[in-house]
């Protein structure tokens, strides 16, 4: 019966997504916060968003006008080359699983979100859907006064809420003054309260870096200060709403605390593996063998200095792509929102990964799917520029023909 339901779900998903690709994208992006494992105990764990991602691949192959990853493709290939080299020297039981995991986000998610949509409107359901899911999780947390919701860990929920907050803020920036902007302002307050109650300091850091990225790209600090008039009182009320022990947990950094001590131990373990082979590390898959809560040290331990350089190159190339494209696009353009969200969510996930798990379900899907959105916007900007050059050439040819 379960297999029959799965087949029926897949068929309906394909029928709907083939006709309305925006629905398929929304079912990946907006459902990413639900990180629950639905694989049935297999070696590779899949959440509902990852299952939907895999189901969308046939639609992508049949429907997409082009298959692109963008300028970041070469950097990703180089990083995978380093990973393959170290895997050849140090193959682990979980190496293949980790390769599948990395390919799913850095290649499949980016290519799908960059290639499948026909225009920017195809992303709207996904963006608003994520905000709605974030509001639902925040409301449950506020009502139950618990940061463990629906079997999800608080750090996972916090990471998802930080992404939803960033998306809601960018949608608020892009909205015209009126009812929609007021609703988004209220959503920001609820999401901020939920993020605070999650007590995930890594998510707080990620949200702060993501918001800072949006502000740097939009250059609208005054507008954000006005939004703070809504956010700050709500966050203050939510903070006082927390039990005393929760407030102490959120503000304590003493190494005697179990979670803080575990992070120091994580760095020390990674340091020992890195010292054994600084150039190529101890092999991809090490992340599954200890509590890897620091992306930089994890990457040094797994793939050495070359791996860190490769991973850094991916982010540098991607952010450079966004920076070049956003300078050409008007702030009111839908493409600017896609570029800004791509940069903000990737930066947010990177910052969160410095103090917590990076290669985990949920927020990482949101971040690299947003990178695909930004890549779509980049190619649209290039297409507009090419069309503009063609029109200029035609305009120049007409006077020449009249003179002849």
Partners of 149 in the beta sheet? 152
Predicted model pTM: 0.90
How crowded is residue 402: how many other Cβ atoms within 10 Å of its Cβ? 7
Q: Based on the domain organization, do 193 and 240 belong to the same domain?
A: yes
Q: Is residue 269 situated within a structural domain?
A: no
Q: What is the pLDDT along the chain (404 residues), one digit of tens a residue?
A: 777 888 999 999 999 999 999 999 999 999 999 998 887 666 667 899 999 999 999 999 988 878 888 899 999 999 999 999 999 999 999 999 999 999 999 999 999 999 999 899 999 999 999 999 999 999 998 888 788 888 888 889 999 999 999 999 999 999 998 999 999 999 998 999 899 888 888 999 999 999 999 998 988 767 666 666 666 676 666 656 555 555 555 555 566 666 677 888 889 999 999 999 999 999 999 999 998 899 999 999 999 999 999 999 999 999 999 999 999 999 999 999 999 999 999 999 999 999 999 998 899 999 999 999 999 999 999 998 888 765 655 555 555 545 54
Q: Based on the domain organization, do 18 and 105 belong to the same domain?
A: no
Q: Is residue 343 situated within a structural domain?
A: yes
Q: Which residues contact 178 (CB under 8 A, 6 or more apart)?
A: none
Give the three-class secondary structure for 294.
Answer: coil
Q: Is residue 266 situated within a structural domain?
A: no
Q: Based on the domain organization, do 346 and 226 belong to the same domain?
A: no
Q: Based on the domain organization, do 373 and 298 belong to the same domain?
A: yes
> Are the C-beta atoms of 358 and 296 separated by less than 8 Å?
no
Q: Is residue 184 situated within a structural domain?
A: yes
Q: Based on the domain organization, do 211 and 286 belong to the same domain?
A: no
Place of tokens 């002849």: 404
Q: Based on the domain organization, do 347 and 374 belong to the same domain?
A: yes
Range of the domain at 322: 70-116+280-404
Q: Is residue 263 situated within a structural domain?
A: no
Q: Based on the domain organization, do 240 and 211 belong to the same domain?
A: yes
Q: Based on the domain organization, do 231 and 338 belong to the same domain?
A: no
Question: Domain total for the chain?
Answer: 3
Q: Is residue 353 situated within a structural domain?
A: yes
Q: Based on the domain organization, do 137 and 44 belong to the same domain?
A: no
User: What is the Cα Rg of the chain in Å?
Assistant: 22
């Amino acid at each position: 019966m379960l297999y029959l339901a799965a087949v029926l779900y897949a068929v309906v998903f394909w029928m709907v997504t083939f006709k309305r690709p925006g629905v398929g994208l929304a079912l990946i992006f907006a459902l990413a916060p639900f990180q629950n494992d639905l694989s049935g105990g297999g070696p590779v764990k899949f959440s509902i968003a990852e299952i939907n991602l895999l189901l969308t691949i046939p639609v992508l192959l049949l429907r997409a006008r082009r298959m692109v990853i963008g300028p970041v493709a070469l950097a990703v290939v180089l990083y995978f080359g380093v990973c393959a080299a170290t895997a050849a020297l140090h193959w682990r039981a979980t190496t293949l699983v980790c390769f599948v995991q990395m390919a799913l986000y850095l290649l499949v998610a980016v290519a799908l979100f960059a290639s499948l949509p026909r225009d920017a409107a195809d992303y709207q359901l996904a963006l608003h859907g994520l905000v709605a899911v974030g509001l639902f999780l925040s409301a449950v947390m506020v009502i139950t006064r618990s940061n463990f919701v629906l079997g999800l860990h608080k750090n996972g929920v916090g990471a998802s809420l930080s992404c939803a907050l960033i998306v809601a803020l960018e949608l608020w920036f892009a909205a015209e003054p009126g009812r929609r902007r007021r609703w988004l302002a209220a959503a920001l307050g609820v999401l901020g309260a939920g993020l605070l109650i999650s007590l995930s300091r890594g998510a707080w850091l990620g949200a702060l870096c993501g918001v800072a990225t949006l502000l740097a790209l939009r250059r609208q600090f005054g507008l954000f200060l006005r939004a703070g008039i809504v956010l700050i009182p709500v966050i203050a009320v939510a903070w006082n709403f927390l039990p005393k022990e929760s407030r102490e947990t959120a503000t304590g950094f003493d190494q005697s605390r179990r979670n803080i001590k575990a992070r120091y131990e994580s760095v020390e373990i990674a340091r020992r593996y890195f010292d054994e082979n600084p150039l190529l590390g101890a092999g991809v898959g090490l992340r599954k063998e200890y509590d890897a809560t620091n992306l930089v040290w994890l990457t040094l331990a797994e793939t050495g200095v070359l791996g860190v350089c490769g991973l850094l190159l991916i982010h540098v190339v991607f952010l450079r792509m966004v920076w070049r494209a956003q300078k050409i696009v008007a702030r009111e353009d839908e493409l600017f929102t896609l570029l800004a969200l791509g940069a903000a969510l990737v930066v947010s996930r990177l910052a969160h990964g410095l103090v917590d798990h990076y290669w985990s379900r949920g927020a990482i899907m949101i971040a690299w799917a947003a990178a695909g959105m930004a890549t779509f916007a980049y190619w649209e900007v290039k297409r507009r520029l090419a069309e503009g050059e063609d029109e200029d050439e035609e305009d120049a040819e007409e006077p020449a023909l009249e003179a002849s």
